[in-house]
Amino acid sequence: MTEMSVSEAVLSRRSIRAFKPDPVPLDVLQRVMDKARWAPSGCNFQPWEATIVSGAPLAELQAKMLEAPFQSPPEYTFSEPEVIPECKARLQRVGAAMYEAMGIGRGDADARAEFVRSNVASFGAPAVLMCYFDRRMGPPQWSDTGMWLQTIMLLLREEGLDSCPQEFLSFHARLIKDFIGVSDETHIFFCGIAIGYRQDDAEVNGFAREREPLEGNVRFIGF
């Protein structure tokens, strides 16, 4: 394994939407998850829980999701920031760049719908982490879980692996929980993390992304 700095892991991590079929070794995933236990959490609550699914069980679960409608009501909503003009503009810009990279025009509704459906198959990733936690956890613990998931994604980069966080899978939250044996009454499903090796020649994995300049959302006082 080639050593990778934290900076290299951060800058090379991106949401991968085309994976190779190569399986991910169990021992690698166990190593990543064992290290990720040391992610920070307020009051040391460690609210996160997960099940990683691969192989035939993953294919079976994905087939069930493809046949099922989105659940109603949704597990939670994640689109409220679209009412903030700058947030909606960021969404539109990254979406336009992604579809342009794949050669899918604005008017090609069928191709766009098919790409959205590919979320269910986690873009061909051979393993998917299903993340959930106790419903008694509040917003601070959602934040803690996010830090844990980011830690996992950076550790995956260190191992030469890639990922894609998928809030989309929450549209099938109850189905997923039932499949993996987690109580819907006690637990909320947060997201999936697609895990595998990126297809280097896939245009969707290489389009230019943008981020706000540092001064756009960070201030320094007293220096």
Cα(12)–Cα(157) distance, integer angstroms: 8
Tens of pLDDT along 178-223? 999 999 999 999 999 999 999 999 999 999 999 999 999 999 999 9
Could you list the mean pLDDT of each consecutive 10-residue stretch along the chain, which spans 223 residues?
87 97 98 98 98 98 97 94 94 92 90 91 98 98 98 98 98 98 98 98 94 95 97
Domain boundaries, the chain: 6-70+120-207
Looking at the structure, give the CATH architecture of the domain made up of residues 6-70+120-207.
3-Layer(aba) Sandwich (3.40)
